[in-house]
Each structure stands twice: as C-alpha cells, then as structure tokens.
Amino acid sequence: MKKNRKNKRCRMPEDDKKMTEETPVNDEKGTEETASTPESDERDAEIASLEAKVKELEDVVADLKDKALREAAETENYKKRLRADKDSAVRYANEGLIKDLLDPLDNFSRAVEAASSSTDAESIKTGISMVESQLQSILKNNWGLEPYSPEGEDFDPSVMEACLVQEDENIDREIVKQVLLKGYKLNGKVIRAAKVMVGKPKK
C-alpha cells in the first residue's frame, strides 16, 4: 500500500505538459464576438450610407461656397466698373459743349488778332458781332440756352431781380424800365434771373 501511494505522488511534470497540449481550448466565446450578424451588417450599411451622404453634402457646400465667392468677386468688379464709368461721365459731362465752343473760340481769337493790327473800328465790331452770333446760335440750337431781356415788361420777381427801383408818376404798375444784365433760360428753366431797374408808381 505504501508503494502505490508513492508512485501516485511521483507523477512527472512532462505528463502535465502533455495533458495541457492535448486538451482542446474552448474558443466559442471569441467566435461569438467576431462572427457577423444581420444586425451588424445592417448597422455597417447604415453607417456607410450616412458617410456617403455627408460626403455628398460636403461637396454641395464646397460648390456653393465657390459659387458665392465667384459671384461676390463679379459683383465687386461690377461696382468698380460702375464707379469708373460714373467718374468718367462726370469728368467728361461737358465734352460736347466744349467741342461746340471751340470754333467760336477760334474765331474770337482771330477777331482779337485782327483788332490789334486794324484801325477800322467798324470791321472789328462786325467781327466780334459775328462771333457772338455764332456762339449764341450754338448754345441755343445745341444746348437749349436762350437769353431774355424783359425791358418794358411787367416786373416778375420769379424771373427778374430788381437791382434799382425808380418811382414814376406816369405808370400804374411796376414795369422793367431798364435791363442791367440779361437773364438766361436753359430748356425753359431760369438759370440766371435778369437784373433790372424797376419803375414803380409814384404815391
């Protein structure tokens, strides 16, 4: 009996190692964790769909941002062109008028030159009168400028400025006795009132 008990206690470590190597390991738990299920497949498909939608929306946002930037740049360029056109229009607004005045200006210079070497006052007067007539014709026909001289007319303060007043026992209302400076209308609008001497009834 003692011999058998001794043999039982003296089992070799190699036997334990062999038993351990031969014993199969139960990996069912790990298999369950890595196995694919219908629920996980559906979740993965949903995530992929959302990621694709996010990518699509990001592309749309990028396109809209690019379009907005280009439109803002075009708007700014358009404003710059408008400002440049406005500045040019203001700067050269009177270009047509100046061109029309060049011929009378040349003729006036010729009249002055002729007057410096001529002793004929009548011819000088005629030359200057021709320049004045040409100038008035251009301003009236091309630009609507008309002079008015209301001598003998009833005094109208809306188009006349009374610089002098003279009482007259021979009149019964205020009238223009003398035009001191002609008035001018541009297309019917008074741009300079005529300066006049007004006669008023003597009290």
CA–chain centroid gap for 120, Å, is 59
| 21 phi, psi to nearest 5 deg | -70, -35
Q: Please state the pTM of the whole predicted model.
A: 0.59
CATH of the domain spanning 146-203: 2.30.22.10
154: tokens are 């009833």
pLDDT at 35: 59
Tell me the helix, strand and coil percentages in the chain, rounded to 5. 60, 20, 20
Four-residue CA torsion sign, 178, 184, 187, 188: negative
Find the distance separating the first CA and the last CA of the chain, reported in whole Å. Answer: 173
Q: What are 189's strand-pairing partners?
A: 186
Per-residue pLDDT of the chain (203 residues; tens, 9 = 90+): 444 444 444 455 555 544 445 444 444 444 444 557 878 888 888 898 999 999 999 999 999 999 999 999 999 999 999 999 999 998 998 999 999 999 999 999 998 888 888 888 888 889 899 999 999 999 999 999 999 999 999 999 999 999 999 999 999 999 999 999 999 999 999 999 999 999 999 87
Contact 184, 151 (CB under 8 A): no
Q: Where are the domains of the chain?
A: 146-203
